[in-house]
Amino acid sequence: MKPDWDKLMDAFAGSDTQLVADVDCTADDAKPLCETHGVKGFPTLKWGDPSDLQDYQGGRDYASLEKFATENLKPVCSPANVELCDDDKKADIEKFMAMSNADLDAVISEKDAANAAAETKFKAFVETLQASYEKAMKDKEEEQNAIKESGLGLMKSVRAAKAKSSGSDEL
């Protein structure tokens, strides 16, 4: 993926409104940035408003990356670009701008906590699912071993021997 990403960075290098870059999250000076934006694995692709980056979920080849960048990396509705917002988003921005910093921080903390709770709930579900899968796999293997141990292989050998002795070449 790295060569395609480098090619994409070159393609957008001269843009005034689109930034395609990479950050080495293992470097000490980049760790705070990566932690702020929830980068846990590598490579992680993020896009959007720098204060609210979103996870990129598309293809990782150059054609997919370039198509996504062309269609999505452009100025979007934000406090810095209110003119790009529809009436509902403008109203939301006005409402949030009118809030005190303390109230805004409290609402953000509440929403972040709800996000974290959703992630915790999902992880618990996945762990339960994994445990169920492992039990089902173990049960299947035990059943198949019991069937084999009950003489299945020997039965198949006897059937083949009977077919051979009767002149049939059918297995």
The pLDDT tens digits of the residues spanning 4-18 come to: 888 888 887 887 777
Q: What is the largest CA-CA distance in the chain?
A: 93
Contact assessment for residue 1 and residue 43, using Cβ atoms and an 8 Å cutoff: yes
Question: Looking at residue 169, what is its pLDDT?
Answer: 58
Which CATH number fits the domain 2-74, given the four candidates 3.40.30.10, 3.40.50.11890, 3.20.20.70, 3.40.50.720? 3.40.30.10
SS3 76: coil
- pTM to 2 decimals? 0.57
